[in-house]
Amino acid sequence: MSAAGNERRARGALNRVLVVDDEADIRELIDLTLSRMGLAADCAGTVGDALELLGANRYQLCLTDMRLPDGDGLQIVRHLNESGSDTPVAVITAYGSAENAVAALKAGAFDYLAKPVSLEQLRTLVKSALRLPGEAPVEQGPLVVGESAAMLQVSALIEKMARSQAPIYISGESGSGKELAARQVHARSARAAAPFVPVNCGAIPENLMESEFFGYRKGAFTGADSDREGFFQAAQGGTLFLDEVADLPLPMQVKLLRAIQEKKVRKVGSTAEEAVDVRIICATHKNLRECVEQGCFRQDLYYRLNVIELRIPPLRERREDIPILVSAILGRLCGAHPPELTAAAWAALKDYPFPGNVRELENILERATALCSGAAIEAEDLQLGAESLAEARTGRAGETLEDYLNRVERQAIQEVLEQTGGNRTAAARVLGISFRSLRYRLDRLGMES
């Protein structure tokens, strides 16, 4: 055998794929596609044959049909999960069968393909699952910092989520580190070499949403002087992070649902759809299930996005992480020789409730490093204030944490409205939120009038 033939044989042995489908023509099509990618395939037509091959061989990927003569593809997914195997499984589902796709992802499948199988999507999926030879290694991304029990659990979940392509819903309060967690999932995944595109859904005007998400063709509307890519195209092969996804208006939710289900988007002004390969991670500080119950968020989209949920705990629930966070933040702000905190400063931080979570801690320390004199940060440099500390210890009479946060938010909005003379558009710009988001907050806080 030639040297080239030996190389192909060795590579095939290293990257072997199990294909499970009861239709011989589909097995042959997938086998041919894989061989052209330099991969070897074993084929099975039943669950029983597949389990027998899995017991005798090691595979780098398994592609299985959902419906099989003696069972379904979920049995193979569960078998691999229960056996502790790290072999990723992709499930082939019937066209338009959203329920089966979601069920497969929830069971632990790496990804899914819809029939008729698109060879372009198949090749993309295989490359994501295997990190084929020739791809450059990617440096690891930033860490979610913390050694508390809650954060160790978050870190363990992130490592598991990185091995899947399933959509992730990250819940947590504002400033708790949701985007950082999303970036870490991306950095640990097979998509790490591709873009991570963060989108603040609450900051996009409603009339521009479709063109921003899906792009547009030249001449599609006044001002469209050239073709433009949207967020989906910008994130091709990587991760699209939808922050504050609960702020999406209902018409846009319908379009987003279709894009996720079909893995295709249509540019504004175009008649043709184009395939996109992105992983969706979304986040919001709101309770998305309550939004569904209130009718402001589609239930079908909620189940599509919430395949895996990751909750980021607020800082007050992991106070033992404050010293680690302080060290990491000061190291980033000041380099190799950051200032120390005095005992009084540590005590002040320990008593503070951090309604703004880690983001507020970063702001406090950045201000303190600018105000401190010498090599130590004093309690007064933190500028927490005696009133704030007193409220942190005792709270107002009968005031819950939610009441406290609402009061702080109401006060901040009121101050900005006074600064802008009641101009809500200008106030939203100062607050860094959309006009629609400001209007929602005014209504929720009873400030609409």
Q: What is the mean pLDDT of residues 417-446?
A: 80
pLDDT at position 192 over 50: yes
Q: What is the mean pLDDT of residues 220-243?
A: 91
Question: Which DSSP symbol is given to 228?
Answer: B
How big is the CA angle at 179 (ends 174 and 180), to the nearest 5 degrees?
110
Q: What is the mean pLDDT of residues 151-170?
A: 90
How big is the CA angle at 291 (ends 441 and 163), to the nearest 5 degrees?
115
Counting residues of the chain whose pLDDT is more than 70, the rounded percentage is 88
Q: pLDDT tens across 354-404, in order?
A: 888 999 999 999 989 888 877 789 988 898 865 454 444 444 444 556 666
Note the pLDDT of residue 403. Answer: 67
For the chain, counts of helices (H) and of strands (E): 21, 16
Q: What is the DSSP string of 421-432?
A: TT-HHHHHHHHT
Note the pLDDT of residue 402. Answer: 66
Residue 6: pLDDT band (50, 70, 90) is very low
Q: Which of 56-60, 107-111, 289-293 has the lowest mean pLDDT?
A: 107-111
Q: What is the mean pLDDT of residues 84-112?
A: 80
pLDDT at position 290 over 70: yes
Counting residues of the chain whose pLDDT is more than 90, the rounded percentage is 37
Note the pLDDT of residue 441. Answer: 81
Q: pLDDT tens across 199-222, in order?
A: 999 889 888 899 999 999 988 888
* Mean pLDDT of all residues belonging to the chain: 84
Note the pLDDT of residue 125. Answer: 84
Question: Which DSSP symbol is given to 339?
Answer: P
pTM of the predicted model over 0.75 = no
Say how far apart CA 38 and CA 78 lie, in whole Å.
Answer: 28
pLDDT at position 259 over 80: yes
Q: Measured between alpha carbons, how far is residue 272 from residues 114, 229, 264, 275, 330 in Å? A: 19, 14, 10, 10, 51
Note the pLDDT of residue 448. Answer: 66
pLDDT at position 180 over 90: yes
Share in percent of the chain as helix, strand, coil (round to 5): 50, 15, 35
Q: pLDDT tens across 312-356, in order?
A: 999 999 999 999 999 989 988 888 788 899 999 999 998 888 888
pLDDT at position 195 over 60: yes
